[in-house]
Structure formats: structure tokens, C-alpha cells
Amino acid sequence: MSDPSSPHPPHPPHLLKPARTDLDDLAAACAAGDRAAFDSLHARFNRGLLALFHRRGSIGPEQAEELVQRTWISAWSALVRGRYDPERAALSTFLYAVANKTWLQHLREKRSASNVPLSLHDEESEDALGLASPSDGPELMATAEQIDAVRAFLRTRTGDGALTEQEREIITAAASGTSDRELAARLALAPSTINDKKQSGWGKVRRFLARTGHRPEISERTTPTRE
């Protein structure tokens, strides 16, 4: 029986960590300083990370490439310092948590350099990735765990508190930068209806995270990036 005083309730069975994978072996090799293993990791995920940044805002190819390189530098540093725990989150998710950190830093640098408030689109993009606004180490792992948990929730099709198919489609698209107007045109719904369904979906995500021991104080524009 679990300790009722524990601040983090045990995960439901469908959220338990899967068996060890080849990515776990790559992570262990990277942590030992194996550059060949890191090169393999780079080849496997670089295209996905590049696509992630392209979806996050109005940035050109060169800036997207720069952000990807910053992500890899931070990821390598985190791995060799032992700041990734394969028992807590998938390696792919950890990489996206590092990318999350890189994107948030980029937006804050943009705000600081311009001395002008971010546009609504940029604010939505920041919120969409701002699960835990991690700085390093434990916070990166907390973000990775949270992303994995939300991914599992998005795969859940039945049960109390599950998202409807339309809520799932709307919050996933919104997290990728799609505006309410674009979603309204795509789904033939009023923008106000889109917003209502987003709010409903995010509320379900927050309640799910609270039930499973994760920090519920996430943004209302939070869903994880797809692998």
C-alpha cells in the first residue's frame, strides 16, 4: 500500500514506465561521454526538433537551426551531468523538455531585446510550451514527466474526465500555434465555441495532472509536443 503522506500519488497502471529501450542505452552511453552515441541520438531526433521550432512561431530556417543547436548543447550537458533519469521519463520526452527550455529562453531574450511586449501569438506559443518553465536538472525532469503524463492522457479515449475527440483536436492544434480563427474555419465553428472547448479541454488536463501527482498550475495553453 502506498504511503498516504507522499506528496505524489502513484501513477495509474497505464502510466507506468515501459521496459528499457534502445534509447535508454543511448542515454547511458551519452552520460558516459560517448560522442558516437550522442551523434546517433542527434541523427534520430534532429529533424523532429527542427520541425518543433518551425511550428512554434514566425521564425526563419536559420533561427530554427540555431535553436536546435542550442537544444543539443543543453541536452549533451544535462546528459553528461547525470540530469536525466530514464526511470522518470522517456529520453525523447526529456529532449523536448530541453527544447521547451530553449524556446522559453528565446522568447524572453526577444522580449528583453525589443523592450516591446510579445505579440499575442508569441504569448500563446510561450504558454503552449510552458509546462514547468524549467531552468535545469530536477525542473527539466519534472517537465519531462509532466509531458509524458499529458501524452498518456491524450491517448485515453474513455473514462471519467477523458477529453472528447474535438477537445483533443483543438488543444493539440492550439499548442502547435493554430489560432482560434484558423480552428474555427477548419471545424466550421464560431471562434467563441473554439475557445469554450479549449477551456474545457485544458481544465480536464489540469484535473488529470492534479489526480496523478503532477503540478496542476500549468498554463491554459498546455499540451505536449508530438514525437
Q: Are the C-beta atoms of residues 78 and 84 closer than 8 Å to each other?
A: yes
Rounded percentage of the chain residues whose pLDDT exceeds 70: 74
Q: Measure the CA–CA gap between 194 and 49, rounded to whole angstroms.
A: 28
Q: Measure the CA–CA gap between 86 and 21, rounded to whole angstroms.
A: 10
Residues 6+ apart with CB under 8 A from 90: 23, 144, 148
Distance from chain centroid for Cα 114: 26
Query: For the CA atoms of the chain, what is the radius of gyration?
Result: 18
Other C-beta atoms within 10 Å of 98: how many? 28
pLDDT (tens digit per residue) in 169-193:
998 888 777 888 999 999 999 999 9
What average pLDDT does the structure give for the chain? 77
Residues 6+ apart with CB under 8 A from 67: 53, 59, 99, 102, 103, 106
Calculate the alpha carbon distances from 168 to 26, 130, 140, 175 in Å: 32, 18, 25, 11
pLDDT (tens digit per residue) in 124-135:
444 443 444 455
| Burial class of residue 65, CB neighbours in 10 A (0-12, 13-18, 19+) | middle
Whole-prediction pTM: 0.64
Encoded amino acid at 152, one letter: A
pLDDT at 1: 43
Other C-beta atoms within 10 Å of 158: how many? 5
